[in-house]
Amino acid sequence: MATKPPAGDPVQDAPHVTAPKQSAAGLPAIGHTVKVAGAQMGARRATLTLLKVNQKNGFDCPGCAWPEEDKRHTFEFCENGAKAVAEEATLRRVTPDFFAAHPVTDLAARSGYWLGQQGRITQPMYLPEGADHYEAIPWERAFALIADELAALDGPDEAVFYTSGRTSNEAAFLYQLFARAYGTNNLPDCSNMCHESSGSALTETLGVGKGSVLLDDLHTAELIIVAGQNPGTNHPRMLSALEKAKRAGATIVSVNPLPEAGLERFKNPQTPGGLAGRGTPLSDLHLPIRLGGDQALFRGLGRLLIENDDLDHKFLDAHTHGYEDYKATALATEWDQVERATGLTRAQVEHLHTRLRNAKSTIVCWAMGLTQHKHAVPTIREVVNVLLLQGNVGRPGAGVCPVRGHSNVQGDRTMGIFERPAAPFLDALRDEFGFEPPRHHGLDVVRAIRALRDGTAKVFFAMGGNFVAATPDSAVTEAAVRQARLTVHVSTKLNRSHAVTGARALILPTLGRTEKDHQAGGDQFVTVEDSMGMVHASRGNLPPASPHLLSEPAIISRLARTVLGPDSTIPWADFETDYDLIRDRIARVVPGFDDFNTRVRHPGGFTLPHAPRDSRTFPTATGKANFTAAPLEYPHVPEGRLLLQTLRSHDQYNTTIYGLDDRYRGIKDGRRVVLVHPEDAAAAGLTDGDYTDLVSEWTDGSERRAEGFRVVHYPTPRGCAAAYFPETNVLIPLDHTADTSNTPAAKSVVIRLEQH
């Protein structure tokens, strides 16, 4: 299994490398941003549109899930938010003529960057069996075709309904309702590849699978540990919050194999001094941990807190369960094991312990660096253990802060996009809509790929996303998807998943966040939930990219009417007309949404309840916050091999490639780079500037190869390497997943470097 840079693609991948930067600007110089966006949108359209991002009467940034402060600036977005907006609001168009000129075989040979650059899709398109060109198809025929394929299945569980995290609450609620009324819980989503490990660990230990802090907590925390996250690129406005905390006296610690620029210094263009000076130094301490060493680090910290009696005994007695077991396990921790796993010295761990004991309130923030490991769930449970010891849950300035990725990935889960729904949620659906939803669990992302591979799933429907590029084991996954009878993608932009299809394929083009959504009942808005459980409205202001587009709620409603027929007990046509009617139902089904329509019209929206945060009540199996005492794990890397993490560059949004630079890491004009310690490169007979193949080795003896990566000497711990996804997804075996959460272990792939 090998991958080369796609042939026939005019985009040249020829990386130039300079030293990594030591500061980041969370918010760009405004002029620069308008220029970047203007290249795709025109300057006037760019200015008018950007003025609406994250405003109370505007649309939610389609970038990440970072929350807004209550008080808004005129420009309430970051550079990457502007890129996400420009990507969607571009004036370029992919019309039926484009598909006539480009056969699918041609599209399959193009890079993701090239595909994304072609513009917005304007009409529903159909790829008939055996054909090499998509052709325009009327909406009603497209729905009829899907209905026919679904009707031909041996049962509803042969269909899979994937969701990416940009889908609004309203569309997500309708989508899961449709899938369940049709008869399946096969609702995998991007969360399965993202914060599933956080959800699993937090539900078990605290009773709620979401973060427990609000923005004000970050602003007032005394210690903030940022572990396994690169906010300068992926959540840039988080840097403003960290700066605010810092000014109020907080200590910030970054735990990361890489010295990420955003965590070192921050230049805030919205404060005096702005971009001119050297910026505010943010992190007081950087622990360059080995990949996968975090469980050991937090175990070591737990041991030190217990030994020094830095404990909140009142909290432990009143609110926790399992402390004695955990204490015994933590005290038995061997320091040489912690040092081996983390690559840190005991003195470095003690340094962080001192920070912890001196802080009255601590928050731990994390993202993919913690969630995408085989032992991700026990790692996050270990973070919770340490916070519980000092009572750092459910009081101001303290708590758990998993920082979410996609702008509505958290809301989609709240709306029921989940392959293992809880019984009370299904009961509420039944009572509200008068049908019996399926009770058995559905397929997550990895299981859905296996089902497609094994022929037990035959129809694949995606609400957004880029399934074949975002998922692991690209060769296996692409072969699996090609076996499907029908693949359907509701999309805004072209991507690889439109070129790697089942026997037949449909592209259903939809409205984006930035666009006006006009329905028979008038102009509509949708709602989203950010990473901190704030729910608010989002209203686009641009005319739709094409008159043929339908909104996501309209697509689901019409599809449901066609598939379920006139006897469905669910008023699908009403939902399409007026989204208030969807929100009325959400209010009756989903806890925390009472009076939804009224409260979401309040500027800035409302905050969902969170029992541990609000009242230190823990809806777990024991009724308390649970300590857990798991065996210590960390990746085992054979002699002469490296551990590869696959991560994001500054110029990409997951599989959407905005450009070929990774500014803060000093990479320009190319993406096929591998960041390695100079001594590891030398051990493989390589030096900076050489080209190498990455060969992954899996436990069953199989190997996977990605060809032609430029070696970049980089300050990363010995034995650890980094390269961008999706190019490296070909290296990750489908079965290499986290225990419990089944999330692909994209941050710990055993590889060797082989001269190209």
Ligand X SMILES: Nc1nc2c(c(=O)[nH]1)N[C@H]1C(S)=C(S)[C@@H](COP(=O)(O)OP(=O)(O)OC[C@H]3O[C@@H](n4cnc5c(=O)[nH]c(N)nc54)[C@H](O)[C@@H]3O)O[C@H]1N2
Binding site for ligand X (CB under 6 A): 63-64, 80, 164-166, 190, 193-194, 227-230, 233-235, 255-258, 260, 289, 291-292, 294, 367-369, 372, 405-406, 463-467, 470, 490-493, 495, 510, 512-513, 552, 645-648, 652-656, 725, 728-729, 732, 746-747
Contact flags string 222-241 toward ligand SF4, x per CB under 6 A: -------------xxx----
Stretch that binds Mo ion, among 15-23, 402-410, 430-438, 450-458 (CB under 5 A): 402-410
Q: Which is nearer to ligand SF4, 73 or 636 (CB)?
A: 73
Asked if residue 470 binds Mo ion (CB under 5 A), the reply is no
Give least dist CB 534 to ligand SF4, A: 12
Q: Which is nearer to Mo ion, 262 or 405 (CB)?
A: 405
34 binds, among Mo ion, ligand X, ligand SF4, none (CB under 5 to 8 A by kind): none
CA proximity to 15, closest of 674, 681, 755, 725: 674
CA proximity to 648, closest of 676, 671, 680, 677: 671
Q: Which is nearer to ligand SF4, 80 or 95 (CB)?
A: 80
Residues 701-740 that bind ligand SF4 (CB under 6 A): none
Residues touching Mo ion: how many (CB under 5 A)?
Answer: 2
Asked if residue 409 binds ligand SF4 (CB under 6 A), the reply is no
Residues 197-226 that bind ligand SF4 (CB under 6 A): none
Strand stretches in 196-249, DSSP E:
223-227
653 binds, among ligand SF4, Mo ion, ligand X, none (CB under 5 to 8 A by kind): ligand X
Identity of the residue numbered 102:
H
Token pair listed for 527: 């709602």
Give least dist CB 76 to ligand SF4, A: 7
Contact flags string 190-209 toward Mo ion, x per CB under 5 A: ----x---------------
Strand stretches in 459-540, DSSP E:
459-463, 486-491, 504-509, 517-519, 522-524, 526-529, 534-538
Q: Which residue minimizes CB distance to ligand SF4?
A: 63
Q: Up-side HSE of residue 511: CA atoms within 13 Å toward CB?
A: 27
State how far the Cα of 504 lies from the Cα of 484, in Å rounded to an integer.
Answer: 8
Stretch that binds ligand SF4, among 40-48, 56-64, 284-292, 490-498 (CB under 6 A): 56-64
Please state, in angstroms and as integers, the Cα–Cα distance from residue 576 to each residue in 137, 431, 558, 584, following that order.
Answer: 21, 22, 8, 13
Asked if residue 61 binds ligand SF4 (CB under 6 A), the reply is yes
State how far the Cα of 236 lies from the Cα of 25, in Å rounded to an integer.
Answer: 8
Q: Which is nearer to Mo ion, 286 or 404 (CB)?
A: 404
Give least dist CB 685 to ligand SF4, A: 41
In the block, residue with structure tokens 């649970």: 626
Q: Which is nearer to ligand SF4, 78 or 732 (CB)?
A: 78
Please state, in angstroms and as integers, the Cα–Cα distance from residue 323 to each residue in 327, 392, 484, 505, following that order.
Answer: 6, 15, 50, 54
Q: Which is nearer to ligand X, 117 or 164 (CB)?
A: 164
| Residue 454 neighbours by CB under 8 Å, 6+ apart | none
Q: Which is nearer to ligand X, 20 or 442 (CB)?
A: 20
Q: Which is nearer to Mo ion, 45 or 496 (CB)?
A: 496
Give least dist CB 254 to ligand SF4, A: 18
CA proximity to 85, closest of 126, 125, 28, 134: 28
Backbone angles phi, psi at 743, to 5 degrees: -75, 135
Token pair listed for 678: 């100079």
Give least dist CB 410 to ligand SF4, A: 13
Other Cβ atoms less than 10 A from the Cβ of 12: the count is 9
Residues touching ligand SF4: how many (CB under 6 A)?
Answer: 11
Give least dist CB 755 to ligand SF4, A: 39
| Residue 673 neighbours by CB under 8 Å, 6+ apart | 15, 17, 667, 709, 710, 711, 712, 723, 724
The answer to whether the CB of 16 falls within 8 A of the CB of 670 is yes
Burial grade of 247 (CB within 10 A; 0-12, 13-18, 19 or more)? exposed
Give least dist CB 611 to ligand X, A: 25
How large is the C-alpha radius of gyration of the chain?
25
State how far the Cα of 753 lies from the Cα of 756, in Å rounded to an integer.
Answer: 9
232 binds, among Mo ion, ligand X, ligand SF4, none (CB under 5 to 8 A by kind): none
Give least dist CB 239 to ligand SF4, A: 9
State how far the Cα of 688 lies from the Cα of 712, in Å rounded to an integer.
Answer: 5
Contact flags string 328-367 toward ligand SF4, x per CB under 6 A: ----------------------------------------
463 binds, among Mo ion, ligand SF4, ligand X, none (CB under 5 to 8 A by kind): ligand X
Q: Which is nearer to ligand X, 320 or 497 (CB)?
A: 497
State how far the Cα of 633 lies from the Cα of 631, in Å rounded to an integer.
Answer: 6
CA proximity to 251, closest of 111, 384, 361: 361
Other Cβ atoms less than 10 A from the Cβ of 23: the count is 19
Contact flags string 67-86 toward ligand SF4, x per CB under 6 A: ----------xx-xx-----
CA proximity to 399, closest of 194, 246, 225: 225
Near Mo ion by CB under 5 A: residue from 209, 391, 405, 437: 405
Asked if residue 469 binds Mo ion (CB under 5 A), the reply is no
CA proximity to 299, closest of 631, 651, 664: 631
Token pair listed for 20: 């990594």
Site residues, ligand SF4 (CB under 6 A) = 61, 63-64, 66, 77-78, 80-81, 235-237
Site residues, Mo ion (CB under 5 A) = 194, 405
